[in-house]
């Protein structure tokens, strides 16, 4: 697979180069030169395959020229070692649970696969790979746990002090080994600015082999296609084949992967993009005017993105044609009040605790069903994180019903270690040099 830049269609780089660069010099996004179709027999018989088998089939269709079969198979089995079940709530409504990985969020799919791909391409004796990542909560945990113990790599995570939940903080600070965490006295934007400055700093780049782990990396996008195919397989086993996926969206990487799956041959009836008050994409799809805005804070804070970085990719997938996108993708946005009411309604109707991001996706399925009363497809909303990561949002009577998964129980036994820094670049730079 060769990749071009959305800013320069004549550029060609290898998959390996795209993975280590994350972003082309011209600040576009890498896209596959051709999007290969999965074999029709495979799609027709999807119900016969397990998640790792599906993952391998997709990955090998894309990457067979870059990673030999046996290595790719081992890589997939190591990366995709948890379930993504589709849970039935009623005849028309299902929830795709993507939170059964180590950090309890869907980002585990991307982070685990990417870390293993990077480790695979690092040759013995090569310089240590230094991954710098700024997090508002979820990305850091997935990246930390994805890279934990991966040879020849070191991860430095910057998180805004006091602004992540307890579970999120413990996921960042209790790992040890090749993972270190820094609490920055500032906001997520300050953390991100520090990482950006580090990437632009000649002295740091002269000494370290720096790489980012952000959601635009092509190696995070690819594994997110796996669970769409796998969800479809599970529904097909129940005789259901007309499917709408509702995706809680921030940077639009998750839904971007769904649309890539569609382009590779997955028969999806429609996608629903669900956002919080950060509604840049819903507004664009409605009006044709793309107007990025500073992000506003909401209960669904992993979706507080005013300028979704993966949107360019989706436009590229559909040749910049908003009308084509509008035929396939419906978009809705919701307020915090609506989100909280939805959490309560989902609990009352289905005895199910949904995290705020998940609740927004459910709201979008409801809005879609109201607007399309004759559409008899099943609605699958994606649950992107476990509710226990966002405890402050829930009313007490629902909060007490949240069952703590094993991944969280064990966190409390671990020693927390992190450094604290101000938001000035010089302190961060000295830290990197001295530690
Ligand atoms: C990152 C995240 C999202 C948004 O996903 P995108 O790929 O950025 O659209 C939604 N929900 C949760 C819980 C997340 O962590």
Q: Given pLDDT bands bounded at 50, 70 and 90, which one contains residue 192?
A: confident
In this structure, is residue 28 part of a structural domain?
A: no
Distance from Cα 21 to the centre of ligand 1, integer Å: 22
Q: Tens of pLDDT along 52-61?
A: 999 999 999 9
CA of residue 372 to ligand 1 center, whole Å: 26
φ, ψ of residue 310 to 5 degrees: the values are -90, 0
Exposure on the CB side of residue 413, measured as CA atoms within 13 A: 5
**How high is the pLDDT of residue 123?**
78
Could you report the per-residue pLDDT of 11-36, keeping only the tens digit for each?
999 999 999 988 898 989 999 999 99
Contact 191, 161 (CB under 8 A): no
Q: Ligand 1 pocket, 298 CB below 6 A?
A: no
- For ligand 1, atom 14: residue with the closest CA: 302
Quick check: 312 pLDDT over 90? yes
Q: Is residue 380 part of a domain?
A: yes
The yes-or-no verdict on residue 410 having pLDDT over 90 is: no
List the domain range (segments joined by +) for residue 267. 82-105+220-399
Would you say the CB of residue 389 lies under 6 angstroms from ligand 1?
Answer: no
- What spacing in Å lies between the alpha carbon of 250 and ligand 1's midpoint? 6
> What is the per-residue pLDDT for 45?
97
Atom of ligand 1 nearest to the CA of 248: 10
34 occurs within a structural domain:
no
Is the C-alpha dihedral spanning 180, 186, 188, 192 positive or negative? Answer: negative
Choose among 111, 63, 57: nearest CA to 253.
111
Q: From the CA of 427, how far away is ligand 1's center (Å)?
A: 30
CATH number at residue 384: 3.40.50.1100
Residue 212 has pLDDT above 90, yes or no: no
Q: What gap in Å lies between CA 357 and CA 393, rounded to an integer? A: 11
Parallel, antiparallel, or unpaired for β 8-14 and 2-5?
A: antiparallel
Our count of domains for the chain comes to: 1
Residue 124, pLDDT > 80, answer no
Quick one: average pLDDT of 140-167? 93
407 domain residue, yes or no:
no
**The pLDDT of residue 188:** 85
Distance CA(92)–CA(378), nearest Å, equals 5
Residue 298's pLDDT is 94
215 lines ligand 1 (CB under 6 A): yes
Flag whether 48 is in a domain.
no
Pairing assessment for the beta strands 419-421 and 2-5 based on DSSP bridges: unpaired
- Is residue 370 domain-resident? yes
- What confidence category does residue 138 fall into, taking pLDDT thresholds of 50, 70 and 90? confident
Q: What is the DSSP letter of 290?
A: -
Mean per-residue pLDDT, 206-219: 90
124 burial via Cβ count (<10 Å: 0-12, 13-18, 19+): exposed
Question: Does 41 map to a domain?
Answer: no
Q: What's the CA-to-centroid distance between 426 and ligand 1, angstroms? A: 31
Q: What is the mean pLDDT of residues 38-52?
A: 97
pLDDT band at 234 (very low <50, low <70, confident <90, very high): very high
CB 160 within 8 A of CB 130: no
Give dist(CA 219, CA 133) in Å, integer.
16
| Range among 186-200, 290-304, 325-339, 398-412 rated most confident | 325-339
Q: From the CB of 221, is ligand 1 less than 6 Å away?
A: no
Residue 100 has pLDDT above 90, yes or no: yes
């Amino acid at each position: 697979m060769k990749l071009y830049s959305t800013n320069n269609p004549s550029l060609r780089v290898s998959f390996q180069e795209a993975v280590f660069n994350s972003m082309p010099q011209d600040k576009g996004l890498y896209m596959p030169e051709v999007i290969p179709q999965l074999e029709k027999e495979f799609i027709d018989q999807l119900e016969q395959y397990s998640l790792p088998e599906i993952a391998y089939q997709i990955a090998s269709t894309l990457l067979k020229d870059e990673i030999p079969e046996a290595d790719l198979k081992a890589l997939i089995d190591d990366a995709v070692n948890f379930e993504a079940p589709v849970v039935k709530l009623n005849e028309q409504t299902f929830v795709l649970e993507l939170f059964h990985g180590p950090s309890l969020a869907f980002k585990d799919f991307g982070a685990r696969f990417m870390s293993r791909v990077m480790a695979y391409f690092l040759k013995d004796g090569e310089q240590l790979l230094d991954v710098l990542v700024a997090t508002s909560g979820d990305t850091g945990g997935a990246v930390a746990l994805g890279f934990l113990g991966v040879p020849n790599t070191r991860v430095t995570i910057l998180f805004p002090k006091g602004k992540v939940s307890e579970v999120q903080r413990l996921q960042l600070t209790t790992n040890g080994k090749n993972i270190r965490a820094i609490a920055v006295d500032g906001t997520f934007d300050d953390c991100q600015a520090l990482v950006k400055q580090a990437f632009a700093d000649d002295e740091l780049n002269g000494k370290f082999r720096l790489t980012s782990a952000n959601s635009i990396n092509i190696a995070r996008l690819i594994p997110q296609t796996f669970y769409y195919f796998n969800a479809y397989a599970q529904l097909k086993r129940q005789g259901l084949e007309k499917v709408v996926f509702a995706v809680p969206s921030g940077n639009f990487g998750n839904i971007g992967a769904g649309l890539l799956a569609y382009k590779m041959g997955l028969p999806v009836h429609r996608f629903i993009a669900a956002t919080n008050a950060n509604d840049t994409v819903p507004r664009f799809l409605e009006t044709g005017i793309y107007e990025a805005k500073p992000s506003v804070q909401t209960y669904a804070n992993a979706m507080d993105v005013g300028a979704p970085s993966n949107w360019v990719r989706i436009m590229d997938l559909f040749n910049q044609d908003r009308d084509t996108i509008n035929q396939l993708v419906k978009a809705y946005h919701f307020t915090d009040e609506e989100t909280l009411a939805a959490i309560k309604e989902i609990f009352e109707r289905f005895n199910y605790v949904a995290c705020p991001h998940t609740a927004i996706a459910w709201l979008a399925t409801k809005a879609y069903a109201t607007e399309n009363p004759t559409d008899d497809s099943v609605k699958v909303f994606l649950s992107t994180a476990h509710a226990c990561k966002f405890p402050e949002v829930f009313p007490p009577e629902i909060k007490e019903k949240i069952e703590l998964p094993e991944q969280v129980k064990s966190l409390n036994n671990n020693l927390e270690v992190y450094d604290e820094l101000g938001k000035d670049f010089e302190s961060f730079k000295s830290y990197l040099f001295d530690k």
